[in-house]
Chains A and B, each alone.
Chain A
Amino acid sequence: DSGVTQTPKHLITATGQRVTLRCSPRSGDLSVYWYQQSLDQGLQFLIQYYNGEERAKGNILERFSAQQFPDLHSELNLSSLELGDSALYFCASSVADRSYEQYFGPGTRLTVT
């Protein structure tokens, strides 16, 4: 077990709704990364936080936002959901801000109907 936890495991919601995905990093890790995995796009980097500060941004839509709290857990907020947002959302963590070795969580499967 890598120690990264994500809740919920599954989420089914309707178009236009807003959801929040939660991630708790491994103990001691300061960096949190969010990824979206869909069948056609593969694993895409969304955003990185390091010790509460946004550090890197990938292909994250404006409808999506994230934050990292003082206790280092992170939340990914997805709003005005569309059918195309259905995907697996992974969180990963690492000790430092520049880390190739990221520890992944089990993912949250989001289904938008």
Chain B
Amino acid sequence: AQRVTQPEKLLSVFKGAPVELKCNYSYSGSPELFWYVQYSRQRLQLLLRHISRESIKGFTADLNKGETSFHLKKPFAQEEDSAMYYCALLAGVRLSYGAGSYQLTFGKGTKLSVIP
């Protein structure tokens, strides 16, 4: 079974400092990984996915298959980055009649607090 591990429950950094939120996974298939974010009083939402290799709000994440990691990074933290961050892995199987059965497995989340 797949597993996603976020070793830090809480990460506090000063404004302007670099941020790295750690995520490790275990999965026997080809992984598709994502970061979701939940800002205060807002809903959980997709931040970025590894396939796109894009930078969203200054955040990037690189999939390292050798280390089975997908760490989220930002060079200079901003106060508005304070939120809960969840790493997620998409796993699924193709059913016999052609349909798919997929699920997102989430890590337990890391609360990022950016200190002014």
Contact = CB atoms under 8 A, between A and B. Distances in A.
> By DSSP majority rule, is chain B's interface helix, strand, loop, or mixed?
strand
Contact of A104 (B44, B100, B102): B44
A14 interface: no
B49 A42 contact: no
Interface residues of A, number: 27
A88 B102 CA distance: 22
What's the interface size class on B, roughly? 20 to 34
Contacts of A90: 44
B32 interface: yes
A90 B100 CA distance: 22
Contacts, number: 65
B107 A42 contact: yes
Contact of A100 (B90, B100, B107): B90
Contacts of A41: 108
B25 interface: no
Contact of A45 (B43, B86, B104, B109): B104
A43 B43 contact: no
Given A55-B100, A98-B100, 19 more contacts: A41-B108, A42-B108, A43-B109, A48-B102, A53-B99, A55-B101, A55-B102, A56-B103, A97-B99, A98-B92, A98-B102, A100-B32, A100-B49, A100-B88, A101-B49, A103-B43, A104-B44, A105-B43, A106-B43
